[in-house]
Structure 1
């Protein structure tokens, strides 16, 4: 029944203006705003909906992953734009905040950061 549906994902934030500035100006995403809600137009033609929510509580898991060709370049560029990468005390991460080859070299190199609302995002090295 839903196989051919053009499904999309969404998540909440506590401040639409701060979110829009972060996604557009810091991350460089194509963002549109309509009726005080945002749409992130991501590669692959699957929009992601961002909506304001009273009492917003940040997600405690990664809500959006960005595969990149070179994780070191991506982390360096994002850091230069003011993004701070999350450090997890139970994970081995290098000085940039990149966890390299998690799960005994079976996972991708990955680094996490948050948006102004505290939601968790990642950049990860494409295979």
Structure 2
């Protein structure tokens, strides 16, 4: 039986300084330099994510991080004011409004959620449950 002492997730980026600025300054998360040229992203719940450089990085086509927020409109407005585009999908199966928010709560189909990309092209979201 596997008995882990700790569990953490990780993902790649193509530019560590850009990732550090984005996750630390733009998103306001706690980011520190790791010992192997990586970044350590500390989550509000106490967990950690390993962000590592990869020269042949390909952006994740799935959501790598979901940031739960109290007010999705305020979060989207803040991201947009910082130059982060939240209207990244144009898909009739994923009907988002002009801000890029899928209004799932009003439809009784899950949370309100908006997706956006980090500088490496990885997909993230803000959501209000």
* Fold-level similarity (TM above 0.5): yes
TM-score between both structures, scaled by the size of structure 1 = 0.92
CA drift at 1:88: 3.0
Cα distance in 1 for partners of 2:79, 2:41 equals: 18
Match of 1:123 in 2: 126
Task: Decide which of 99, 106, 110 is 2:109's aligned counterpart.
Answer: 106
Matched, 1:97 2:107: no
Paired residue total: 125
Q: Structure 2 stretches of 5 or more lacking a match?
A: none
Q: Structure 1 stretches of 5 or more lacking a match?
A: none
The Cα RMSD (Å) is: 1.4
CA drift at 1:118: 0.3
- Deviation readout 1:8-52 (Å, 9 max, x if unpaired): 000000000111111111111110002321011111111001000
Moved over 4 A (4+): none
Match of 1:87 in 2: 89
Matched, 1:10 2:10: yes
Distance 1:106 1:24, change over 3 A: same
Cα distance in 2 for partners of 1:2, 1:45 equals: 22
CA drift at 1:93: 0.8
CA drift at 1:4: 5.0
Distance 1:75 1:4, change over 3 A: same
Distance 1:106 1:12, change over 3 A: same
- Aligned to 1:121, the other structure's residue is in SS state strand
Match of 2:63 in 1: 62
